[in-house]
Amino acid sequence: MFRRIGNWLEDRSGLGELIGPVMSHLVPRGSSWMYVFGSATLFAFILQIVTGIALSFVYVPSSSQAYESLKFITQNSALDHFLRSVHYFGASAMILMVGLHMLRTFLFASYKYPREASWMSGTVLLFLTIAMGFTGQILRWDQTAIWSVVVGAQQAGYFPLIGPALARFMLAGESLGGQTLSQFFALHVFVFPVLIGALLGPHLWMVIRNGISEPPKRGKPVDPKTYRDEYHQLLEKDGVPFWPDAAWRDVVFAVAMIVVIVGLAITLGPPHLAAAPNPTNLDTHPAPDWYLLWYFGVLALIPHAITPYVIIGGPAVVFLVLFLMPLFARHGERHPFRRPWALGVVAVVVVSIASFWSLATWEPWSPRYDAKPLSAQVIGNVSAEAQHGAQLFHDKGCIECHRIGNDGGFRGPNLTYVGNRLDAKELTWRIANGGYNMPSFAKILSAKELRARRPSGRRARFVSGRSLEATGRAPPGGRCPR
Amino acid sequence: MTDKPTSPTAEGGAPEHGPAGDPSRRTFLARVSIAAGGFAALLVGIPVLGAVLKPMVQKEPRVWRKVGTVNDFTVGKTVAVDYQNGSTKPWAGVTGRTAAYLRRDSQSQFTCFAVNCSHLGCPVRWEQSADLFMCPCHGGVYYSNGDVAAGPPPRPLARYPVRVRDGDVEILTTPLPIDGRVPPAS
């Protein structure tokens, strides 16, 4: 009975005829676990579509009400709470998988002939995925989200010529307002997913057309003249059908991924909702979600003078280099051990991102608004003037960037033992003049106050105490430690 | 991108040469179809794009908003104030408001600073005792007059037009100062 219905459907639709060859097409033997990340990205995307649609049943994309609906989703309904968690960890997984997929493709040089266009479409898909992440974070529409819109608009504003217009587009107006969230909702829910889908079609089709790249062999470079013939010979001699010989790994990995996502969603719950969105609440500290956090660190630490160029130029150059790379490296060795530069680039990029990322998790460059005044223990038994200096160290904000003992910020040098490095005159000079990352306090402090922060003696311990403030950040050379 | 599928599944593909008809007519019909389709796409596409992209050029009305009376502010003090934007969409809720820092310089003189750091737009924080604006995001610091004191900001804090009228302090609603430029009050 079912068979008859199936036969009828197949006769009228021919869908099996269409899909059959796709499933059974031959792939090179030895396509190992390294090849599962692309399909995992796809499964994560599907998971995002499903959970995203479900969330849209309850979410209210309105600048004034979205936060309330999010609170409802998070607090009042166990199932919606679960959905939101899964959607968040699914997004994280998708970004992670797309990164691994790209890393594998690059290390195996699978972007070479004839798969250049696969890589190029993949580059666009990567940026679209990040755009989905960013717009998704905005839909959370809390304090962090609205300020992220402002930060995003300000970044877009650095674009030459059309910067301000781009910024207005991001804000959907001249400043935050009623249209801002509606627009991000449209981008996140319609525009970007449709673009991803539209590119995913050709991206997947090209896998069928050009085949999965065979695992690289040392001393077997790609020669565009002979590659396709050799590939087909390889398949005929030693190929296995994609389904199920190769696909089972994709399935197992994707299932494991989804189990992990659901597990994390249940145990950790959805991402933290910051305070209600309020552009007049200035006690806020916006930061992007984890996958862009490292870039936030980059922007804090690059030399200030080149910042305006890097903000737009950096991502633009990265995109262009990635996008065009296969056109300039169409042939040659594929094995990573025969491509030391490629390995080096991967190592540098991975280490850099990891370093910026770990720094950005504690933001040493951010002033510590909440630093408490130095404790009596730290200040020690000193003259009244030095006591006054310690007070100024706190009141004048020095402590927000400098550390003495275990108190204070990290932007400037630790001043616990500054008395060992600088004498009173030098300290005064530094405090008064400031530096690259330190304000000049010449106009802020009176002459008397300036004196107060000077160490009265050379005793290293406290010197710091009062002096500290002074010290400001200015280590010789005037460069702020990171 | 222009790959022609080589799979044998296409039964319904247009034959290159049919049994009848002349090729020039066929070319003509193809061109007319493409042109007509393109026309229809533009007919709808241009207004659609226009609607979607209009925030890029649309100007919002600029309005003077009262933030208090002169006597609410102390000479030499900087405080945060807020007011309704020029845009009047009621569904903006609280996001339709803007904050600013207002300093009373003298009896009748006020200066109004944008709260947005000129680096990336994060809200700077006025530290009264330190006499500095500090930014939480990347450590930008400004003096009390808005000049850059330290850190990555490329420009001083933007200033919004502010005036005193009949004893009221009024700030002119102003677009977010993206590139630091603030259109003057007209």
Shortest distance between the Cα of B70 and any Cα of chain A, in A, equals 21
Cα–Cα dist B51/B58, whole Å = 11
Query: Do the Cβ atoms of A175 and B87 come within 8 Å?
Result: yes
Cα–Cα dist A471/A463, whole Å = 10
Residues of A in contact with B132 (CB under 8 A): 397, 439, 444
Overall average pLDDT of the A298-305 stretch: 89
Residues of B in contact with A174 (CB under 8 A): 58-60, 85-87, 175-176
Reading the block at residue A213, the tokens are 């790249």
* Residue of chain A whose Cα is closest to the Cα of B144: A444
Query: Do the Cβ atoms of A300 and B152 come within 8 Å?
Result: yes
Q: Does B119 touch chain A (CB under 8 A)?
A: yes
Cα–Cα dist A366/A359, whole Å = 11
**ipTM for the predicted complex:** 0.87
Overall average pLDDT of the A10-36 stretch: 90
Reading the block at residue A269, the tokens are 């719950």
What part of B 20-79 touches A (C-beta under 8 Å)? 53, 55-60
pLDDT of residue B17: 56
Selecting from B59, B120, B134 the residue whose C-beta is nearest the C-beta of A397 gives B134
pLDDT surpassing 60 at residue A473: no
Residues of A in contact with B55 (CB under 8 A): 168-169, 171-173, 179, 183
- Which of A461, A5, A298, A342 is closest to B119 using CA atoms? A298
pLDDT band for position B19 (cuts 50, 70, 90)? low
Reading the block at residue B66, the tokens are 């009262």
Query: Do the Cβ atoms of B55 and A171 come within 8 Å?
Result: yes
Q: Of all helices (H) and strands (E), which one includes residue B78?
A: strand B78-84
pLDDT band for position A369 (cuts 50, 70, 90)? confident
* Residues B69-112: tens digit of each pLDDT: 999 999 999 999 999 998 778 899 999 999 999 999 998 899 99
Q: What residues are paired with B71 via a beta bridge? A: none
Q: Are B147 and A443 in contact (CB under 8 A)?
A: no
Q: Are A415 and A425 in contact (CB under 8 A)?
A: no
Residues in chain B: 186
pLDDT surpassing 60 at residue A128: yes
* Residues A139-172: tens digit of each pLDDT: 999 999 999 999 999 999 999 999 999 999 999 9
pLDDT surpassing 60 at residue B15: no
Highest mean pLDDT among A117-126, A173-182, A328-337: A117-126
Burial class (CB in 10 A: 0-12, 13-18, 19+), A80: buried
pLDDT of residue B72: 95
Cα–Cα dist A134/A83, whole Å = 19
Q: Does A471 touch chain B (CB under 8 A)?
A: no
Contacts of A34 (CB under 8 A, 6+ apart): A104, A108, A215
pTM, two decimal places: 0.89
Q: Which long-range contacts (CB under 8 A, 24 or more apart) does A264-270 make?
A: A264/A85, A264/A89, A265/A82, A265/A85, A265/A86, A265/A88, A265/A89, A266/A82, A266/A85, A268/A85, A268/A89, A269/A81, A269/A85, A270/A74, A270/A81, A270/A84, A270/A85, A270/A88
Q: In terms of pLDDT, which residue wins out, B9 or A238?
A: A238
Q: In terms of pLDDT, which residue wins out, A448 or B146?
A: B146
pLDDT surpassing 70 at residue B45: yes
pLDDT of residue A453: 58
Q: Does B10 touch chain A (CB under 8 A)?
A: no
Question: Vertex B92, ends B90 and B95: CA angle to 5°?
Answer: 135
- Which of B91, B120, B105 is closest to B169 using CA atoms? B105
pLDDT surpassing 60 at residue B16: no
Query: Do the Cβ atoms of A175 and B134 come within 8 Å?
Result: no
Overall average pLDDT of the B35-41 stretch: 98
Reading the block at residue A248, the tokens are 């089972």
Q: Does A392 touch chain B (CB under 8 A)?
A: no
Q: What residues are paired with A240 via a beta bridge? A: A27
Shortest distance between the Cα of A148 and any Cα of chain B, in A, equals 8
Residues of B in contact with A62 (CB under 8 A): 91, 93
Burial class (CB in 10 A: 0-12, 13-18, 19+), A63: buried
Q: What is the mean pLDDT of chain A?
A: 89
Query: Do the Cβ atoms of B176 and A153 come within 8 Å?
Result: yes
Reading the block at residue B34, the tokens are 């493409």
- Residue B4, CA atoms < 13 Å, CB-side half-sphere: 5
Residues of B in contact with A444 (CB under 8 A): 130-132, 143
* Residues A393-415: tens digit of each pLDDT: 888 888 999 988 888 888 888 88
- Which of A276, A274, A62 is closest to A172 using CA atoms? A62
Overall average pLDDT of the A41-50 stretch: 98
Size of interface A-B (CB pairs under 8 A): 214
* Residue of chain A whose Cα is closest to the Cα of B116: A150
Residue with tokens 């001393």: A219
Residues of B in contact with A180 (CB under 8 A): 95
Contacts of A63 (CB under 8 A, 6+ apart): A141, A176, A177, A178, A179, A180, A181, A182, A277, B91, B92, B93, B95, B96
3-state secondary structure at position A256: helix
pLDDT surpassing 50 at residue A457: no
pLDDT of residue B179: 83
Q: Does B7 touch chain A (CB under 8 A)?
A: yes
